[in-house]
Structure 1
Amino acid sequence: MPYIMQVYGRKLVHIGLNFFAALGFSLFVLANNVPCLYAARLMQGIPMCEVFISAMMVAEYSHPKRRGYFITIKKCLVAIGSLMCHSLALCWTWKQIATFAIIPNAIAIMFTFIWPESPSYLALIGKYDECEKSHKWLYGDGLKSKRDLEQLVSSQMESRQAMDKNNFNTAVRKLFKKDFVKPFIIVSLLTLITDASGRYYMLAYVVQILTEVTKDKSVALYCTIGSDALTFVALMISCFVIRCCKRRTLLFISGTICASLMCLTSLITFLKSHFDIGGSVYSWLTPLVILLNVFIVNVGVVPVCFAIMCEVLPLEHKGTGTCTTGIVFTLLYALVMKLTPVLMERTGVEGTFGVYALLVVVGLLILYFILNETKDKTLQEIENEMKGVKQSNFNEYYLNEKPLIE
């Protein structure tokens, strides 16, 4: 998909991913045996990369000042989907829910036809006139917009000239350059933090975790609905939080609180299971701490991680970078989803949360030394920082030349 995105554009990939998702849900509706269910699930494996790729697209289409909360709004809609599925399951069959789930994909396909192509993609392939029209459609034709467009076009002109002289060995060496390796490490660590903090395993295993904690499945079920509602509220609040706070500040504060709450959950559960300390307090305190952690993760950790992931990959390496980091994203997602039940069985809630808290801390420590601030910066400005080019030098070199956009 990243290769198709770089060669044929963002719109085609977005339409294709939504088509395969809708086709997968259609197969669910028509399924009448287990092999059909497997076929439907396999079909939906194709658009799973949309979790990652569509966020990259949002970053390219968004104004720098609005990019953060546009990506967060996307996460809010994911929370709405989860809440609706869990709520509809109380009165609908899974086939009825699958039928309903086709509608958002169909609407997404229709809306995609009215978009312009991404200005970044058009500049990448050398269609500068179309890039100017698309950029003006999205951002207007103010002075700041024109200057950002000049930087985008001039940077891609230079990259294309260098690309024409490249051979295969040079292309391979690019993968070991700082402006590829550093964003790759940053995105991989952010993915690790997102997975370990509970973004996905809490959605999938929240009933089992809360049942283990409360010893009452009916209470756990209601706590699950509460968790979904809390996730949605947290993501709505995060739209304002991510607009006001710097990316680094929000990441390290929310990440530290998240790790602390996970350690507290581990400690409380350990004391209860091994020393029977806490009595009746344990039955409400542990679920409260877990739900508070769900709130902190979704109000800070998840939005800021995805916002930074979508910003740091340079346009020149967007295809390769999306592919490699997408592989890391998929592997970590699969590992967390498969290992969580095993950890729960072997080490209990205390061991599971303790291991994941340690992973969050390690990721934050490394990012503290290598992550730059990206808030309110254009993708080109962030790319220049990754390459070690000072913005003042870039402006002096390019803007003293004859303007590319009159």
Structure 2
Amino acid sequence: MQHDIIVIGGGIVGLATALRIKEQSPALKVLVLEKESEVALHQTGNNSGVIHSGLYYKPGSLKATNCIRGYHQLIDFCNQEEIPYELTGKVVVATKNEQRQQLENLYVRGQQNGLEGLRKISPEEVKEYEPYVTCVEGMWVPQTGIVDYKVVSQKIAEKLKNLGAEFRFNEKVTGVTKGHTLSIIKTERNTYETKLVINCAGLYSDKVAQMSQDRPIDVRIVPFRGEYYKIRPEKHYLVKNLIYPVPDPNFPFLGVHFTRMMRGGIEAGPNAVLAFRKEGYKKLDINPKELWETLTWGGFQKVAAKYWETGLGEMYRSFSKAAFTKALQELIPEIQESDLIEGGAGVRAQACDRTGGLLDDFAIIEDEKVINILNAPSPAATSSLSIGQTVSEMALKRFS
């Protein structure tokens, strides 16, 4: 079974990459391999559904450029394909005076990234958007929105099939061997040959990348579970759209926040705790081998030493609904523990290097035969069509 390009991974980034390739070069034989029975079952299908504006990311970084370009491409795609979405806007609030400077830094970064209509607002103006929020200062971000990324992914997959791309489900990749002209991909069920491998395996992108390398790669995917609560319907009035805190500038997570969902309801969260397996959506989901690989990774040990206090706080909130509620009350004091119903969880594939750095930017590493997307956490869903365009341009140079 020979192909020009095989994309490993049927999440939104893999799908968007395959789509951009087929749009630009319809004659190329493209195959998407997915270990599950359908697309978008992991990071894509379990995220909060936020359309990110590009506010948080370092100007000129892959995250900033792809998020901002991807934002517009996503909106255009949803309009063309009649996918429901809403541009709700959001408020980002400082709840303590010492957070004002961080809010100012965020405002400047948003301006540098070209966000229009971004403005600092007073506590009274915040209440015009979100009447139950208490803060010392806020910022209005008009570009933010909500969508169901699983619906987006299913539409991309449908378009891919119409363009002649192939899909193989229930095909877990077990080996990648690079040859002079063709690489061989082995799964638990079949063997495939391809001129180019594109690794979009998300939580297992490090594993797949290592399969084709002679020496150990310098990053490891560390899984962080983000747990959510849902707000009881009778308390939905507390949240109109999206409410975010000022994020910790040293930790690559945005803190617990409130999000109105496209499919209905309001979520509160997530926290960010170490998952004990790569697809560990529940507290007691444990894969001893995967956990051991995480704990013995020198980079993670450095992360743990640096962020142990933050990590303990996140773990405490994971097991204490009262502590989780207290964090939410910093934004909306009226919210009570009884207002929260246990919701779902997602697992973020966070790349960690040997020095203990949690990679902040997207990371795409290539050689002649393989393109590895090794770090594509949030805002990858918003950025997906743009990331797909970036990777497709890298891929198609090989076929010119």
Alignment TM-score > 0.5, same fold: no
Higher fraction of helix: 1
TM superposition score category, shorter chain reference: under 0.3
The TM-score with structure 1 as length reference comes to 0.24
Higher fraction of strand: 2
